[in-house]
Chain A
Amino acid sequence: MISAYYFGAISLILIGLYAILTKRNLLKILVGLSIMETGVNLLLISVGYVSGRTAPILTEGATPQTAVDPIPQALVLTAIVIGVATTALALTVAINLYEKYKTLDIEKIRGLRG
């Protein structure tokens, strides 16, 4: 039996992948990419979770024995920022493409072919 969070994370990754593989609208593909990244982040956090423990903030009451793993949280902080950076750049490129081709349909954008 797989836990609810794992299930949610894998579903998000697969939904995002589905959007990337089948959609034709560029912004839709980027929405898919963004959802996929959220799924990956959720997966990383759930890997670091330890049942019954509290957040790794060691004020009164919380000891090292009762805190969850801080590393995945640090990793996800990084991953989220990287994700938004990629998204912003991708949208910029999409704007440039729209100015040139007046469409966001990837089937109609075919300047380069070998």
Chain B
Amino acid sequence: MNPQYASLLIALPLFSAFLVPLIKRAGKKVILPYLTLVTLIQTGIAAWAFKEVYTTGKPIIVLAGGFQPPVGINLYIGHFAALFVLIIAVVSFFMTVFSMKAIDVEPIDKYAMLFLLLMLGATGMIATGDIFNLFVFMEITAISAYALTGYNKTGEASEAAMKYIILGGIGSSFFLVGVALLYGSLGTLNLAQIAMLASKMNPTVAQAALALLVFGLAVEAELFPLNAWAPDAYQASPHPVTVMFSAFVVKAGLYAMVRIVYLFKDTPAFMGILNLILILGTLTVVIGELSALRQTNVKRMLAYSSIAQIGLIAVGFGVATPQAVDAAVFHMVNHAIVKALMFLAVGYVAITLGCPCIESFKGLGKKMPLTAFAITVGAISIVGIPLFNIFWSKFRLLLAALQVGKTGIVALILGASLVEAVYYFRLIHAMWFEESKDEKVEENLAFSIIMLLLVALIIVIGVYPEPVWNLVQKAATDLYNVANYIKNVPLLGVSP
């Protein structure tokens, strides 16, 4: 099959989103099933791309308009992108099922469009090979995320959306200034060509441009000074959207940041930027964990915990040895699975019992045993108990930090796990050992299946990490090995 068909990954959600106003004429009832169908097809295409990339071992390069890279825009679906595009599609598919129950605020048709475009934006951010195209996809993600955050139209939702918009606006302006600096000194926007010419760049400009790009992407990637929006948005947005934020929107931002920074691997500016990422990551972990400790709203607590985990991933990328990058990517995958499960379960509790506050969780083991079980598995996994998946990624991260002798990072990871243990065991205690007088609730079959699937995935990866670890290593190599990246993109001979 022609590898150019991978462009359907972008074309399909777009086309389907534009089709929604016409579908709406057939009645409101068909919209959510239609959404499910579209995400299912998207999953199929993503699975095909995944299979293609991992069996041939070669990335799929999509040339838009048939022009070769520095002239036209190319999509680069390498090992990393293929893996994450699949994760995005699968999570979106689960969330469309969840939406049928969780979304009761009108207008549904607009929700469906925004949902599809959020998925499209994240897919594009991960797949694109052009820095300005990355900006466009970032804005698609961001603007649909703003609208979805405020979708419930309550005061809190609007407030969270407003914070997100203001920070996002600052971030995108910074990003564009960075792009202007890069373009002004290199004359190209293609990522591969930027990497090729990076050593010719004036170090002062390179450092400034990279710092600006990192700050710009830090809004999406939820690194410390620019992530004030995150807990609010997680708390106030509709439950399926929270899952999508945590499972892949953040990761797309983080991936884009790391991809751009690693392009400059052989330049003098690289070390300074790595230190910046390390500092930002560390601050994110510390502040995230400490804030999570004093939350009474479980959804907000999970949001802070999610931020802290993102900080850990950023620290892994900041260490920047091959082992650390492997571990960070592994943590990204694991975190996507676990947080998808946790937010799904907590959202489900919130819609059944009315509120995601800690009171609803008292005695949940009696009321909704399956959901409580799923939350427990997720919580134990995040803390890093052996035989669950996050243990392995945290362990690998520790090893990588030890290898370069950064004991500070070791202490950080262990401390973070300790704090996580405190607040997650508080939640578990509330669920299983506190009494509640409410009746047992009938649990929905579809959600139970999704949750059990994710729980099974957590445990399988926890017991047999090797297959996933191998996949992840390939993905991380794709991210780390920039020389290979340049070689894979068929650059046209446009040179000074």
Contact = CB atoms under 8 A, between A and B. Distances in A.
Interface of A: 13, 16-17, 20, 26, 29, 33, 36-37, 39-40, 43-44, 47-48, 71-72, 75, 78-79, 82, 85-86, 89-90, 92-94, 96-97, 100-101, 109, 111-112, 114
Contacts of B153: 96
A33 B291 contact: no
A89 B183 contact: no
Contacts of B294: 114
Given A33-B169, A82-B139, A86-B143, A43 B177 contact: yes
A29 B184 CA distance: 30
A114 B168 CA distance: 21
B443 interface: no
Interface in B122-158: 132, 136, 139, 143, 146-147, 150, 153-156, 158
A100 B162 contact: no
A6 to B, nearest CB: 10
B150 A96 contact: yes
Given A79-B176, A82-B139, A112 B159 contact: yes
A88 B161 CA distance: 13
A109 to B, nearest CB: 6
10 contacts: A44-B183, A47-B184, A86-B165, A86-B168, A93-B165, A96-B153, A97-B158, A100-B154, A100-B158, A114-B295
Given A112-B159, A112-B160, A89 B166 contact: no
A17 B167 CA distance: 11
B183 A72 contact: yes
B180 A100 contact: no
A-B residue pairs, 7 tightest by C-beta: A100-B155, A47-B184, A96-B158, A33-B169, A111-B156, A97-B158, A90-B165
A20 B174 CA distance: 14
Contacts of A36: 169-170, 173
Nearest to B142: A86
B475 interface: no
B143 A97 contact: no
Contacts of A71: 183, 189
B236 interface: yes
Size band of the interface chain B makes with A: 35 or more
Main secondary structure of the interface of A (DSSP, over half): helix
A29 to B, nearest CB: 6
B306 interface: no
A91 to B, nearest CB: 10
B293 to A, nearest CB: 11
A20 B183 contact: no
Given A71-B183, A114-B294, 8 more contacts: A20-B169, A37-B169, A44-B180, A44-B183, A71-B189, A86-B146, A89-B146, A112-B236
B289 interface: no
A113 to B, nearest CB: 9
Contact of A93 (B158, B180, B235, B295): B158
Nearest to A37: B173
Contacts of B162: 26, 90, 93-94, 97
B231 interface: yes
B367 interface: no
Nearest to B304: A114
A93 to B, nearest CB: 5
B300 interface: yes
A98 to B, nearest CB: 9
B176 A97 contact: no
Interface in B427-472: none
Contacts of B166: 20, 29, 33, 90
Contact of B156 (A16, A90, A112): A112
A101 to B, nearest CB: 6
Contacts of B109: none
Contacts of B150: 92-93, 96
Nearest to A91: B165
B222 interface: no
